[in-house]
């Protein structure tokens, strides 16, 4: 014999538990949570518009690599006219000095794991 009341209570508890992430996010306002990133330690602005950088920094890095490695050119001119050395370590990480709390924090959150650091150096490793 089974007890219909207990089955129903069991079901309600079960549904509440599987829905936990949903109502937890709604209640705490974290549905669109983005990790807090370390600020750039140099420069007023990035090498391009921030919205562009958010969406397309990987394409820019690929272009930089191709231009440096295939064409041997190293100077990039930003939309606002500033000039930069096209370098992952020497330029991006010169301003974004906290790789772990900037690049890596966002990548972990987004589930991306760039393999660049197999060869390229993260500056603190130089010290
Ligand atoms: C001259 C300094 C400087 C350089 C060089 C630089 N950045 Fe930035 N970057 C900034 C600043 C300032 C911001 C605005 C947000 C902040 O203060 O951290 C920013 C923003 C960003 C953002 C958006 C972050 C967000 O809030 O979502 C990304 C992604 C980014 N940079 C990647 C790069 C990459 C990749 C490179 C190299 C190709 C690079 N940056 C080179 C200064 C720099
Ligand atoms: C605001 C979040 C954010 C920040 C900050 C950020 N990235 Fe990314 N990055 C992403 C996302 C999302 C992707 C994956 C995009 C895709 O696959 O379309 C990505 C992809 C990449 C890739 C390509 C990886 C691959 O396997 O294809 C490289 C390289 C990269 N990021 C470098 C950097 C560097 C260097 C910094 C710091 C200077 C940085 N990113 C900061 C969000 C971020
Ligand atoms: C197998 C080793 C290796 C891997 C992995 C690698 N690179 Fe490189 N990369 C190189 C070498 C070698 C150069 C040429 C260095 C030079 O001429 O200054 C280079 C040059 C570059 C340059 C231009 C020069 C500079 O100082 O940064 C960029 C930008 C670059 N790579 C981006 C990337 C990105 C982004 C990734 C990951 C998605 C990556 N690389 C992964 C070996 C590698």
Q: For the purposes of burial, counting CB atoms within 10 Å of the CB of 126, is it exposed (0-12), middle (13-18) or buried (19 or more)?
A: exposed
Query: Is the per-residue pLDDT at 117 higher than 80?
Result: yes
Nearest atom in ligand 2 to 99's CA: 37
- CB distance 106 to ligand 2 below 6 Å: yes
Q: Give the HSE-up count for residue 66: Cα atoms under 13 Å, Cβ half-sphere.
A: 6
Q: What is the mean pLDDT of residues 1-30?
A: 69
Mean pLDDT of 18-47: 75
Give the ligand 2 atom nearest the CA of 54: 1
pLDDT at 87 over 70: yes
Tell which atom from ligand 1 comes closest to the C-alpha of 39. Answer: 18
Mean pLDDT, range 103-114, rounded to an integer? 95
CB of 21 within 6 A of ligand 3: the answer is no
Q: Is 64 in the pocket of ligand 2 (CB under 6 A)?
A: no
By alpha-carbon position, which residue is closest to atom 35 of ligand 1?
57
Residue 29: the pLDDT is 54
Ligand nearest to the CA of 83: 1
For 25, residues 6+ apart whose C-beta sits below 8 A from its C-beta are 31, 33
């Amino acid at each position: 014999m089974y007890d219909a009341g207990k089955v129903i209570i069991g079901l309600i508890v079960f549904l509440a538990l599987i829905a936990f992430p949903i109502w937890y996010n709604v209640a705490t306002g974290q549905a669109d949570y983005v990790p807090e990133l370390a600020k750039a330690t140099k420069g007023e602005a990035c090498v391009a518009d921030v919205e562009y950088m958010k969406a397309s920094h990987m394409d820019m890095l690929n272009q930089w690599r191709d231009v440096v490695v295939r064409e041997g050119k190293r100077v990039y001119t930003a939309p606002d006219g500033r000039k930069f050395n096209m370098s992952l370590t020497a330029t991006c990480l010169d301003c974004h000095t906290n790789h772990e709390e900037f690049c890596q924090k966002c990548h972990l959150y987004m589930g991306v794991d760039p393999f660049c650091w197999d060869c390229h150096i993260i500056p603190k490793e130089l010290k």
